[in-house]
Structure 1
Amino acid sequence: MLEEYFGKDLTEIGFTPPGMRPLPKPPATGRLEGPTAPSTATPSGEGDPTKRRNALALIGGTAMTPLFSPESARAESVHAYTRHVSISALAPRDIEALEIEVHRLGSAYSAWTPEELWPVAATLRHQAAVMLAARHTLRQGRELFRHAGMLSVLLAWVAHDLGRRDLVAALCDDAWHHGQEADAPEVCAWADDAACTDALYADQPLVALSAATRGLAIAPRNSNAAIRLSAQLARVRARIGDRDGFAEAAVRADGYRERVPLHGTGLFAVDAVRFSSFDASSSIWLGDYRRASRSAQEAIGHYRGTAGPGLAPTRLAIAQLDLALAQAGLGEPDEAMGTARRALSDVRLVQAVRDRADQLRGGLLRRYPTSAHVTAFGEELRGITA
């Protein structure tokens, strides 16, 4: 086949080393047969894979002459190796455009509804897969694996917001594998951050603990992912009722407060307000409702005072619902119901907000089973979050 393609004997193109038996001549039909024939059709996969790869490399790229001896070696042959390793079907601007889109979606995440985000992010994720299937250099491959992994993390958050927990697990696993291929541990850490949050809201604290612990073990030191996972670990410890573990993890997480801005922008940002919000949730799980009330009010005050790109409507709603839970725990059902109504009046109603509202409804009904107002409010909440 190679002789027919190049119009030369195998020895002339340097393909047959000394002692190797020459390959049989191609059929006399004048047409290349088998899966190595250059065609727009997809190769069938039949035949010897090593021969097929060698043939495709030579037919589709630069013919490379083996350097069997110093006497026969030529500089041109070495340059052929260099040219071959840099062959790519991708233009640098293609990968740059993908990177820009990943950054854009992450930065403006809260400005989109989950239903708007999914088709955009899913299209980009498929585009990254198609680019990975094309001929590319090793460096391009690592960049593409990284972007593909971050797109899977982003899609995991969208799936979390939509309540598709089956997709969250699959997407986080996909992001992990792509992060490993890219040698980018921060991608794996961000995947664990998403998995931890989803497991917490799904009432799977041990799964959340595993994700937070694994993510912290690989997250680059002092990175945004490491800071987020430090705070995650503290609230996971609180969720499982481990007071000593919570206190230890909280001290470690609080050490980052002075290093981060008060507000952060985007899905992968870190900020000091998040620590207050997480502390409110943790204190509720530990039964410390006064501390939960203080932390929730602090977070609400900061969120309400923010406009523009720093606005985080989902986190504001959750902080308000945490305040309502604290008020219910302190024996203030009317205040709790008023706070909850404000939280749900104008919000991006994602699954995390529904879960926290359901938690509030259950808590109120257990504490005040004979109250007609609480029963009516429970039905109101059920209708809002259905």
Structure 2
Amino acid sequence: MPPTLMTTISAEIEAHCGHRLLKCRRLAKGWTVARAVAAAHQLVETRGLAKVGLSERSWKDWEAGVLPSPDYQDLLCRLFATSPVQLGFARDYSPTAADGTSPLGSGNGLDGTLLEGKAASTSAGSRTLMEVEPTKRRDAVKLAGLAMAAPVAAAQILEQAATEAMEFTRQAEATSLGSGTLDHLDLAITEFNRAYSIKPPRAVFDAVMDYRRKVDRLMKAPHTHRQERELLTFAGWLSELLAWLAHDLGDARTGLAFATDALVHGQEAGHGQLCAWAMDAAASINLYERHPHKARLAVAKGLAEASARHPLTVRLHAQAARAAAADGDAEGFTTAFHAAEDAHRSLPTCAPRRFGMDVMPLADYALTSYPATSFIWLGQAEEARQHAERALATYKAAPKASRSPSREAIARIDLAMAHALSGAPEDAVALGHQALDSTRVVDSVRHRASDLTSFLTRRFPRRPEVEGLRDRLAALDANARRALPAAGPDA
């Protein structure tokens, strides 16, 4: 887009919508905040500039009126190929040749012609206002009782009101949060989510729980209304992660408590996507606790909050299919799974990211591994085998950052169950051992492995290879219990 056209579009947005100039420039480019932040990081990388820790939260602060540092002002000017004046960061006091005033003096970035047009429009509109406003103003003053006060008293009232207005402003801006606190929380939650699949759940749980307590203390200390919404969101994301970690540690009660906490904080923050992720966790936990009806209720709450064109919607429909299969409802499984497939076909080509990670693999996994488990519960061995093999192939093709050792282990157990249902215990036992070789044998893996060994023991009693797998799982369960503290995780 030519710079002059960009300036004109930005000016029109400012004139008609009243946004600050930085937001007008972004909207003129057709960017979301996330896209603008990504473009800034790309510019830094392309131009070899100094690395920055720019986040969506910081960008929104700037659009709300917070002045960026000089370094960030320079980056934004480079990004939009313009000056600080046209982004609202400075004023131009240089005179023009025509009338000795600056066309940018108002800081709105409009050229002289547009300024005249805007002034003419305001002047034309003011004639109508002049006919109506005096009567309304007198009525309003009478209602407030100000018209009955003597001139001196009225002046005192207005002076007191000015003092109160300043106090209102001071209280609205009062906060105990340091300038970098929210950015720090954003980075910390990102790192926790990256560590989730690669570090022991006990260690991650303790670290995340510590931050959840810190956020709770920050919420009880003075902060602005804008900061409150962000703190509610951070608290919700931490609780959503704690729900999964508690589930991995084998404590369903704690996991469901944190899932509920994440839902409530997401609702208070008006963050529908957070609510949907929280209910995804609740659905999984309830399924492992053999409460498919509760899982279905959680899915319904999540779908009410999730965007129709988000990979999470695919996952939630697949969760509903899995819950129906666990309930023995073959028709309900088919309906929900077709809904998941339809949602997957409508996903955008550019998938959203969650804490810097691509969430599309989660949708792909839900369409392969979830039905594999479902077909096992429905007793359909061949369909289970096909989907389990696809799930393993999906994991192998996924980027390293998106790999999940525990989910891959569960896919191997699903494939083992399919072989067991088909009457091939040797293959089932071999796959069971491969699953237990995983670097992350959490409670859900051991839970599914227990289903496998129980089925093999019933179907193929006194087979030494089956007893060997069962003994290995028993040893892993004993080690896991010893690794936990005497009391359950602090909820």
TM-score in terms of structure 2 length: 0.61
Q: Does 1:121 align with 2:208?
A: yes
Q: 1:353 aligns with which of 427, 445, 460?
A: 445
1:343 aligns with 2:428: no
Alpha-carbon shift at residue 237 of structure 1 (Å): 1.1
Distance 1:377 1:78, change over 3 A: closer
Secondary structure, counterpart of 1:99 in structure 2: helix
- Give how far 1:238 is off: 1.2
Pick from 386, 393, 396: which aligns with 1:294? 386
Which digits, 9 at most, give the CA deviation of each residue in 1:342-373, with x for residues without a partner? 11123311000000000001111121225344
**Aligned-pair identity (%):** 34
Q: Report the counterpart of residue 102 of structure 1 in structure 2.
A: 189
Partners in 2 of 1:209 and 1:268 — Cα distance?
A: 26
Change (3 A) 1:105 1:334: same
Alpha-carbon shift at residue 220 of structure 1 (Å): 3.4
1:146 aligns with 2:233: yes
Per the TM alignment, residue 197 of structure 1 is displaced from its structure 2 partner at its CA by 0.7
* Alpha-carbon shift at residue 306 of structure 1 (Å): 4.2
Q: How many residues align?
A: 320
Matched with 2:139 is none
Answer whether contact 2:205 2:242 (CA < 8 A) is retained.
Answer: yes
Q: 1:257 to 1:222 in 2, by over 3 A?
A: closer
List runs of 5+ in structure 1 lacking aligned partners. 1-66
Question: Partners in 1 of 2:420 and 2:248 — Cα distance?
Answer: 26
Q: Give the Cα separation in 2 of the matches to 1:153 and 1:308.
A: 23
Pair 1:283 & 2:368 matched: no
Confirm whether residue 181 of structure 1 aligns to residue 268 of structure 2: yes
Question: What is the Cα deviation at residue 248 of structure 1?
Answer: 0.9
Structure 1 pair 141–268 and aligned structure 2 pair: CA distance change class (3 A): farther
1:198-232 Cα deviation digits (max 9, x unpaired)? 11112222221221122222323333433321221
Pairwise CA distance, 1:177: 1.9
Partner residue of 2:158 out of 70, 73, 76:
73
Q: Using the TM superposition, give the Cα deviation of residue 108 of structure 1 relative to its aligned residue in structure 2, in angstroms.
A: 3.4
Corresponding residue of 2:124: none
1:203 is paired with a residue whose SS is coil
SS class of match (2:440): coil
Instruction: Give the whole-Å Cα distance in 1 for the aligned partners of 2:270 and 2:338.
Output: 31
Deviations 1:164-223 (A, max 9, x none): 112112211221221222122222222211111111112222221221122222323333
State how far apart, in whole Å, the 2-side matches of 1:260 and 1:76 are: 53
Q: 1:307-361: CA deviations, max 9, x gaps?
A: 6312211111000000000000011111100111111123311000000000001
The answer as to 2:457 corresponding to 1:365 is yes
Q: CA deviation at 1:68?
A: 8.4
Q: Distance in 2 between matches of 1:336 and 1:315?
A: 17
Distance 1:197 1:362 in 2: 21
Gaps of 5+ in 2: 1-143, 147-153, 479-491
Distance 1:304 1:226, change over 3 A: closer
Contact 2:296 2:323 (8 Å CA) reproduced: yes
Q: What amino acid maps onto 2:428 in structure 1?
A: A
2 CA distance for matches of 1:161 and 1:310?
Answer: 18
In structure 2, the partner of 1:380 is: 472
- Which residue among 59, 69, 93 is the counterpart of 2:180? 93
Q: Give the TM-score, by structure 1 length.
A: 0.77
The answer for the alignment partner of 1:303 in structure 2 is 395
d(CA) in 1 for partners of 2:469, 2:203: 31
Higher relative contact order (CA 8 A, sep 6+): 1
Q: Do structure 1's residue 217 and structure 2's residue 304 form an aligned pair?
A: yes
